[in-house]
């Protein structure tokens, strides 16, 4: 059986993990920006709606 001598660089299954880290960081930042946008949109919707106050009941009517 022939000996197969491979270096540590050749034995790796992939390159360094830096691009993967950048994808994960970018995805996290994108999720934070989307979350912030939804929060702002929700606050704008809340301010546009009229506040409904229940009618005051001082006593029985009849």
* pTM confidence score: 0.52
Spatial separation of the C-alpha atoms in residues 40 and 35, rounded to whole Å: 9
Q: Is 29 helix (H, G, I), strand (E, B) or coil?
A: helix
Per-residue pLDDT of the chain (62 residues; tens, 9 = 90+): 567 787 877 777 666 667 888 999 999 999 999 999 999 998 888 776 766 777 767 666 65
């Amino acid at each position: 059986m022939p000996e197969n001598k491979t270096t540590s660089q050749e034995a790796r299954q992939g390159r360094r993990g830096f691009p993967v880290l950048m994808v994960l960081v970018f995805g996290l930042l994108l999720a934070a920006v989307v979350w912030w946008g939804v929060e702002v949109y929700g606050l704008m919707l809340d301010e546009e709606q009229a506040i409904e106050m229940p009618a005051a009941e001082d006593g029985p009517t009849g």
